Amino acid sequence: MAKMSTSDLKAMLASEKAGALAAISAARLAEERADAMDYYLGDMRKDMPAQDGRSRAVSTDVADTIEGLMPSLMDIFAGSDEVVRFEPVGPEDEPAAQQETDYVNHVFMQQNPGFMILYSFIKDALLSPPGCLGRSGSASRRPLPSERQVIGGNSQMYRIREVDGQDEDVADTLAELHQLTFFDRARVPAFDQGHWWLAFDGAEPVAFAGLVSSTHVDNAGYFCRVGVLRQHCGRCLQLRLMRALETRARRNGWHSIVSDTTDNIASANNFIRAGYRLYEPEAPWAWPHTLYWRKTMG
For residue 155, pLDDT over 70 is answered with no
Type and span of the H or E element at 232? none
Confidence of residue 163 (pLDDT cuts 50, 70, 90): very high
pLDDT score of 281? 92
Q: Identify the weakest region by mean pLDDT among 49-58, 99-108, 117-126.
A: 49-58
Please give the residue that has the higher pLDDT: either 240 or 177: 177
Please give the residue that has the higher pLDDT: either 291 or 35: 291
Type and span of the H or E element at 196? strand 195-201
pLDDT score of 178? 95
pLDDT score of 90? 80
Measured CA to CA, the distance from residue 136 to residue 141 in angstroms comes to 14
Measured CA to CA, the distance from residue 294 to residue 66 in angstroms comes to 21
pLDDT score of 80? 66
Q: What is the pLDDT of residues 182-195, one digit of tens each?
A: 988 889 999 999 99
- Asked whether 199 and 206 are in contact (CB, 8 A), the reply is yes
Measured CA to CA, the distance from residue 267 to residue 13 in angstroms comes to 55
For residue 146, pLDDT over 60 is answered with no
pLDDT score of 150? 38
Percent of the chain residues topping a pLDDT of 90: 32
What's the pTM? 0.53
Nearest to 198 by CA among 207, 190, 189: 207
pLDDT score of 241? 92
- Asked whether 81 and 273 are in contact (CB, 8 A), the reply is yes
Average pLDDT of the residues in 37-61: 80
> What is the edge-to-edge ordering of all strands in the sheet holding 220-228?
158-163, 195-201, 204-213, 220-228, 256-261, 291-296, 277-278
